[in-house]
Amino acid sequence: MKKLSLAIVLLSLIFILLVSYRYSSMTEEVIIESFENRVENNQIEEAVEITETENTKPDVIEKEQKSKKIICIDPGHQQKGDYTTEPIGPNSDKEKPKVSNGAIGISTNKPEYELTLEVSLKLKDRLEEKGFVVVLTRKSHDVNISNSERAKIANMNDSDIFIRIHADQREPSEFNGISVLCPSEENKYTSKIYDDSDKLANLLLESLIAETDATNQGISYRDDISGFNWSEVPVALVELGFMSNPLEDEKMNTDVYQNKLVDGMLKGILEYFNH
Ligand SMILES: [Zn+2]
């Protein structure tokens, strides 16, 4: 009888040991699981943070869109200029500020960086309607992207053309009208893209003047512009008008005139790809 009780006690002990072991390993699993959850959640938070900062960065083109024509638009300037310098072209000893503050509307007080983004966004919509893929170098004002970096964004995205949008200022305030800047024929950095850039600049100016009736300030051929010299794709810079001219400044602040400017650029771009 004693032996039987001893056996029962032993068996109960073994049972208790087994149950408590199982329980402890279960808690361990639960702990591991909740740790894994936390790790996963952290990763999700990190991913969200990256997306948020990516918002200020330019578009990256999806592969399937690559069969379409790609146009990179650079809305000139940014909220705060960066006057540290960068080489004006690859391997150049000459340096220029990375990106300047830009003009201010003499009558509207509007900064150039606001006007250029407004017009760029309108042009982007119109181009997308026509089936182009559009890359913007910036979508907000609070960025710091140098002029050479803007050109590199156009290069990186295999853009077919790179259109830079600016507005002018000059004394006296009577100056008004539209000009287009283009790399010069002698520019050693841009010899490969000169012909196409020249064609693009001329077509843009022609159709802009036809659409707006603005004064034709002509083409300005340049070799000192970092945003041209770093570009590997045909490039032109449109000066929409003079922010130093009260009338033109007011006009450029209206939807009606902005739409004319956008129509002009759109027609010039369509012409460029049709020839
Ligand atoms: Zn400018």
Identify the pLDDT of residue 31: 36
User: Which residue, chain included where needed, has tokens 């006007």?
Assistant: 115
Q: Kindly report, residue by residue over 183-226, the tens digit of the pLDDT.
A: 999 999 999 999 999 999 999 999 999 999 999 999 999 999 99
CA distance linking residue 236 with residue 197, whole number of Å:
6
**Residue 208 CA to ligand 1 centre (angstroms):** 18
Domain identity same for 115 and 19? no
**Residue 213 CA to ligand 1 centre (angstroms):** 22
Identify the pLDDT of residue 8: 58
Domain identity same for 40 and 122? no
**Residue 191 CA to ligand 1 centre (angstroms):** 24
In total, how many domains does the chain have?
Answer: 2
**Residue 53 CA to ligand 1 centre (angstroms):** 25
Domain identity same for 98 and 201? yes
**Residue 157 CA to ligand 1 centre (angstroms):** 23
CA distance linking residue 250 with residue 270, whole number of Å:
28
> How distant, in Å, are the alpha carbons of 91, 113, 137, 221 from that of 120?
31, 10, 10, 23
Q: What are phi and psi of 14, to 5 degrees?
A: -60, -40
Domain identity same for 160 and 254? yes
CB–CB of 96/70 below 8 Å?
Answer: no
Cβ neighbours around 86 below 10 Å, total: 18
- Give domain status of residue 62, yes or no: no
**Residue 237 CA to ligand 1 centre (angstroms):** 9
Identify the pLDDT of residue 214: 98
pTM attached to this predicted model: 0.77
CB–CB of 180/239 below 8 Å?
Answer: yes
Q: Kindly report, residue by residue over 126-150, the tens digit of the pLDDT.
A: 999 999 999 999 999 999 999 999 9
Domain extent at residue 259:
68-274
Domain identity same for 24 and 96? no
Identify the pLDDT of residue 43: 37
CA distance linking residue 234 with residue 236, whole number of Å:
7
**Residue 93 CA to ligand 1 centre (angstroms):** 23
**Residue 11 CA to ligand 1 centre (angstroms):** 89
**Residue 168 CA to ligand 1 centre (angstroms):** 6
Domain identity same for 43 and 90? no
**Residue 216 CA to ligand 1 centre (angstroms):** 18
Q: Interior CA angle at 134 toward 185 and 66, to 5°?
A: 90
Ranges of residues in the chain with a pLDDT under 70 are: 1-66
Domain identity same for 50 and 157? no
**Residue 115 CA to ligand 1 centre (angstroms):** 10
Identify the pLDDT of residue 171: 94
Alpha-helix runs per DSSP H in the chain: 2-54, 112-129, 147-156, 194-212, 226-229, 246-252, 255-274
**Residue 82 CA to ligand 1 centre (angstroms):** 13
Q: Is 200 helix (H, G, I), strand (E, B) or coil?
A: helix
Cβ neighbours around 226 below 10 Å, total: 26
**Residue 78 CA to ligand 1 centre (angstroms):** 10
**Residue 257 CA to ligand 1 centre (angstroms):** 19
**Residue 38 CA to ligand 1 centre (angstroms):** 48
Domain identity same for 22 and 143? no
Identify the pLDDT of residue 49: 37
**Residue 66 CA to ligand 1 centre (angstroms):** 30
